[in-house]
Structure 1
Amino acid sequence: MTGLGAVFRPQLAPERLRDVCRAADESGLEELWLWEDCFREGGISTAGAALAWTERVRVGVGLLPVPLRNVAITAMEAATLHRMFPGRAILGVGHGVQDWMGQVGARVESPVTLLREHLLALRALLRGERVTTDGRYVRLDDVALDWPPEGDVQVLAGATGPRSLRLAGEAADGTILTAATAPDGVRRARRLIDEGREAAGRTEPHEVVVYLLAATGPGAADRLRAELVAEGLGSVPDLAVAGDAGAVAKAVQRLAEAGADTVILQPTGDEPDPEGFVRFAAQEVRPLVA
């Protein structure tokens, strides 16, 4: 079955998160995703709050920009969430927006090298291994977590370009694709991910999570069109959906048929009813998605 979730967008003030979390949990939403967009809201702090305010919904962070974090800190934070809320935290890491990384003095010459080194060290630490490595960017000397997660945990990678997608297949446990990914883009991403998996000899399942920009209710089409134009995506076909639950479910199904395992509905930045949006996803769209 195709997984389905929704995003709490950081254009909303942090104090709005509690009500959205409660709506997600009460409505039966499977996954609520959070973003760490500069310079809005922290991914780990919001994830910890969201998990504490809920009982059953899984909470994803997509994604944590690796240039901002020492990998040991990422591992400590991830392990803490996984131990406190077993089976409910989903964490993704990625390059981050390069302009933002430049603004804070964290931009690196080779984002792909950094992400590779971060992923390999992070997954090893979360497996409970003791790690010594002297890479171009990631350096650890006899580091191990005192409280690693119990059981296997997945680390997802956000990726767009061919090199990053192959790297995700090679070194991550799953991949997050942005809402700028149409069904044809999902098919292409799957091929590149599989190339990376084959090169690394990996045969275990690899989850692909895709954001889908969606709008419903009064003014949905206008809000959707305005956001696409603002992002320079107004001419890209099959990229977003405005309409009722049936229209949204069909768009979800197209992404699933292209290779998405989980589709996360992304409201517009000016969504007037974020609590209603998560209820719409859980109670109206979910029953229509195979």
Structure 2
Amino acid sequence: MSRLTMVPPGKDAIKKRRRKFWLRLLLVIAVIILCGFGVWWAKEKLQHLFVKAVVEVQPAKLGQLSVTRPLPGWIIRDEVIISAPAAGRFQRIAKDSERVRLGAPVAGLQSGNAAEGDEGGAQSVPAPRAGLLEFRMDGLESVLTPRVLDTLDPGQLKALTEKPTEVQNDDYVNRGQPIFKIIDNIEKAYYLTHYVMTDLPKPLVPQMRITLAMSPTGPNISGKVVQVRGVDDVWVLIQLLNPSLDAIKERKASLLYVEQTHKGILLPLEAIVEREGEKGVWLSEKNRAQWHPVTVTATVNEQVIVDPATLDEKSLVVQNPSWLEPGQEIK
């Protein structure tokens, strides 16, 4: 009976096996390195393409930012309601919220019953004065006048509520029914507001000059206190010296009492980046991201004012710089 025996490999065979092992190992390592480099390259490329696509660049602009307190109230303006001179089907001729001149046609009334074949006649309703046309009426036109504090007590003022009405095209109106109003946008408007003494840094007194605003970024509205009623629970009538059309169009307003106004380059807070304890912004220079130090002089909510001496107007500022790196290509 024969017997199998193991013959140990020679030295050359062992060297050959080791060589093959190391070559395979090096090949695997090379493949891993190449794959890792490829993944890194693809990641960097995709990240740069993503940043280039989503980055938002805007030129720096001068603006203002105010420290404010809410001072809600009611707009009071010189306005007149126009009623239908006759019964008929209502049609608008002028556009809502546009300025109209004296005598300009505002609406038309079609008398008769078109459903029964009676076309009747058409009558034009002209503007009895120049001003801002509004088809929506709030029911407070004859209540809120510049003499309101002399005619209403605080209890009545607290109960003020709007009762809006608006005549639409093809609505049938009766003679004497209110159909539109015209606001005098030349004469000064007034603002009736209510506050508690602790709401403001100092009490408002007659003849006092104050600044109001529609938002912390403006526009600012100059005002003069006309009448004050109350000690701790106060009602104040303020004359608005330079109101915008947007300020006088609405009856109920949420104006802001301006304590302090800062002027300079207005930017979103998100645009400010801090590096090594220094604040700055990313600028787009030749479509490349460059960090630039700036001095922030005021911060209100999510906006900041930057000293114009540290940032030129019209510089291209990156508004959302979260992903940026120095020299990165941006649009």
TM over 0.5: no
Q: Which has the higher strand share?
A: 2
TM-score (norm 2): 0.18
Q: Give the number of the structure with larger relative contact order, counting CA–CA contacts within 8 Å between residues 6 or more apart.
A: 2
